[in-house]
Amino acid sequence: MTVHYTVEGGRATVRLDRPEVLNALDRPTLEALRDRFREASADHGVGVVVLTGTGERAFCTGADLDEQKAFLDGPNDYWDWMSRFIEAIEAVKGCAKPVVARLNGMAVGGGNELNLACDLAIAADDVVLRHVGPSRGSLPAGGATQWMSLLVGDRRAREVLLLNRPITAQQALDWGWLNRVVPRADLDAAMDDLCDALLEKMPEIIRATKVQLDFWKDLSWSMTIRMAREWLTVHAGSAEVAEGLASFEEKRPVDYDALRRVMGAAPSDPQGSARAALSGPPPQDDEAPVTQEIHDV
């Protein structure tokens, strides 16, 4: 079981449990997230839902890279995977109860998009948030391009999504990305305080308030997500994705110059030729090895 669901005293907790891959999202995990949030929505005894992850390293780090490799040879299969991701995000965002993200560790790529789908967020003070899609081979359009600017403003959103640098929890708090940042030892007490306050609200009114507050999130999401799924599907077998995954496996930097050279070519087999062009000796660099923690949807 990769997602655990418990209910206690009006609070439901949904916990991602794949610490060995930094709580990355594969298809069964996305389906379980979707189903547990639908269950919480339908349970009149639940007044608030907490979304968190197992361990202290990661809240969630986005798509499972091993699963993503298969789409290089069958990119149209990505469409169905992205459909499961969309369903999970919509189940979180559209939950009838307020949802609080408990950031127990790093929130990267699709993991941050889960965070953005929640109503509120509390993080331990050693947590880092990040997007890396343009660096590693994915368009961050499973919520990030739609919602980051609503939280932090346009220029800061562009900094996060284009530069892909890690952002500390304190910086994220200052920007409005998070609601509270506390020492790790105080994380559960801060969650108790927030959840207790939410449970002392009228359920029908708080549900309707969420709907009203979601107007701009719903608008930007509905106007973009279907085309994002199409573009991501078409791009799933591209040279950029292949190089992003290969560089991860080989623990080396991405060869961005080679990707630019590929763009200027017009081969009869773009994907095959592009991969061939990128299959030479990897560039020498002293960059530290990368891990699952850097991948977007």
pLDDT band for position 282 (cuts 50, 70, 90): very low
Domain that holds residue 104: 3-212
Structural domain tally of the chain?
1
pLDDT tens profile 288-297: 333 454 456 6
Q: What's the predicted TM-score (pTM) here?
A: 0.91
For residue 281, tell me if it sits in a domain.
no
**pLDDT for the residue 295:** 55
**pLDDT for the residue 149:** 98
For residue 93, tell me if it sits in a domain.
yes
**pLDDT for the residue 294:** 47
Whichever domain contains 197, its CATH number is: 3.90.226.10
Lowest mean pLDDT segment, chosen from 6-15, 25-34, 222-231, 271-280: 271-280
**pLDDT for the residue 286:** 42
Tell me what the mean pLDDT of segment 218-231 comes to. Answer: 98
**pLDDT for the residue 238:** 95
For residue 269, tell me if it sits in a domain.
no
Tell me what the mean pLDDT of segment 176-186 comes to. Answer: 98
For residue 231, tell me if it sits in a domain.
no
User: How far is 103 from 180, CA to CA, in rounded Å?
Assistant: 10
For residue 276, tell me if it sits in a domain.
no
Is residue 4's pLDDT more than 70? yes
For residue 254, tell me if it sits in a domain.
no
